[in-house]
Structure formats: structure tokens, C-alpha cells
Structure 1
Amino acid sequence: MFQTEKLIAAQAKAIESAQVLAQLAIENAKAVADIHYDATKDAVVATQVKAAQILTIKDAKEALEIFTADEAQAVLSELSAIQGKVSKVISKSNKEVVDMIESAMDESKLELKKMVKEISNGVPTSAAPAISAFDYVFDAAVQGFDQAYAVSKDAYTSFEKTIESSLNLFQDQYVPSKKAAPKKQKAIAA
């Protein structure tokens, strides 16, 4: 009966962890939605201003003057900033999830080892070789679990680095840095 209570407690803890992860996912989705909402609101305001300017145009040349390279640069910089905010939310979320998983795994391993030890202590001494073999298999399974976790943690890290490199690539392609003004050549005295 005692083992059943432990299993029920472990399941309750797993459900609680799942609820915490779900809450974290909801909070991060809200943060990303807020970022996009603010960006959309700003874009609508800017569009309304440009539309009002366009309606007052009487000459076609004036239309070309409304859309300048500096304004395009500003829009691209804004997009880059928005993507940076989203990247921070994703990065923070990944770190929190990894930390939660690490904590849950450590606790689970300790509980499993304690449970195996309790079960092993109640076995007659004549079964010592079987218990030793079981301990060996159990330790190997835990090591395999640790390796699988390390691979999944690397996948999270790789995902985050891929997002960062994609953002950097976007910035390099569409948000060129300002170039220094060309130097004037001095006239050589003859």
C-alpha cells in the first residue's frame, strides 16, 4: 500500500508540473501576442498618417517624396526590434522549461533510487545476485535516460541558436548598418 501512495503522489506531482508548463506556455503566448498587438497598432497609426498625406497630394512627384529610404530603414529597424523581443520571450521560455525539466528529472531519479533501495532492503539475502543485477540494469536505464535528456537539451539550445542566427541574418540583409562618409582626397601640390 505504501508504494501505491508513492506512485499516486508522483503522478500528482507530474500533473502539477504539466499545469505549470501549460501556464508558462500561456504566459509566453500572451507576451508574444502583446508584442504583435503593439506592433500592429503602431503600423495602423503610421499607415493612417501616410494615407492622410497621400490624400493631400496634388503632384505625382510628391508621392515619391513621402516614401524615403530613411523611413524604410526605420521600419526595418522596428521589425528587427520586434523580432528581438519575440526572440527574448522564446529564449526565456526555453530556459524556464529546461530548468523545470531538470528539476523534475532530478527529483524523479532520487525518488526512483529511494524506492528501489526500499524494495531491495526487503528482499532475502539469497536474492542478492538478482538484486545486484537489477541495480545494474536500473543504473544503466537511468544513464540512458540522462543521455536522452542531454540530447533533448541540446535540441532546445540548437533551436534557440537557429532563431538567433535567423534574426541576425534578417538584420544583416535588410537592416544595413550606416556606412561612413567617403573621405575627401587631398589635392597634391605640384
Structure 2
Amino acid sequence: MFDNLDHAKMTALAVAYGKRGRLRLAASEDVMTGTLARIIAAYREQWPEVHFDLLELPAIAQVRALQRGRIDLGLMLPPVEGPAVISDPVWSEGWLVALPKAHRLARRTHLQAVDFVDQDAIIGHAERGPRCGRHVLDLLDTLHVNVRIIAEVEHLQTALMLVQSGAGITFVPGSLADVSIAGIV
């Protein structure tokens, strides 16, 4: 009987300290990068007895899911807004511009904000899309650099497909630098 009680106590402590049990994690599309893959791999190696659930959700939906107790942790680009939501930075990285291979800026290795004046840009939908492009556009706006938003998309893959088609440019997390997509630099 005491062995069972000790086992139950150890199990409860393991769950309380995150060594056993279930972790319900949500992540927005723009943080689904190689960096997150390395973090997940390290977590799974360190705590193999924790069952890991991953749900892809846009930031606004993550905040609602956190408030309703549907997820334990959300990963998204800032800003994080909502009552009773605590946010801490996990990692940071730079931004890249994805250009069609035939774009006039495609052969240049260093670009400045003024290079983007009047460019056609594809960005994430305000509520359901990746936030990475909006962060860059906010920065460009503070520098008085105006771009033309030609499309608001729900998925980074859609933005990259439009870049591939020659429709415009988009901004992506820096960890995608090692990803090769035909027709895009």
C-alpha cells in the first residue's frame, strides 16, 4: 500500500514539474521554423515521458485558447494581448525579404529600407495570417517607407507562392534563410 502511495506521490510531482503528463502547445505559422524544431527535439529528449500535443493556431486564436484552458502554452510573434496572459520572449531572429528571382533587387546581397519604397508586398491577414510581414511593415512605416499591399494571406506558403509567381515581395523569419524554394531568393 505504501509503495502505491509513494508511486502516486512521485507521479503527481513529475506531472507538476513537467516531467510527465501532457503539454498542449499551440504555435503560429510564422514561428514554425527550424528554431522551433530544435526546441521541440531538445524538450522531447529531456522529458520523454511528456506527451506532446501541437496545434497550429494564429495568435488571436491562441490567446482565446489559453484563456479557455484548451492549451498550456502558446508560441507567437509579439505583441501578445489579452487579459491574464503572461508573455516571455523565447527566442529572437532577424527578418528576410523573399523576392522573385527576376526581381530587380534579387541580385543584391544587402538591402536598405529605402529599397522597398513602392514595392508590391504580400503580408499576413491581420487576424488569421502570419505576423512576420506586418512587423517589418510597421518598421518601414516608422522610417516613412511606403509599400503597396497587394495581398493579405492566411498562410506563409501562400505568400511564398505569390512571390514565386512574380506578384510581389514578402517578409519571412530569418531562420528560413536555409530553405530553398525554386524561383525565390
- TM normalised by structure 1 equals 0.21
Task: Identify, as 1 or 2, the structure richer in strand.
Answer: 2
Larger RCO (CA within 8 A; separation ≥ 6)? 1
Task: Identify, as 1 or 2, the structure richer in helix.
Answer: 1
- TM normalised by structure 2 equals 0.22
Question: Which structure has the larger Rg?
Answer: 1
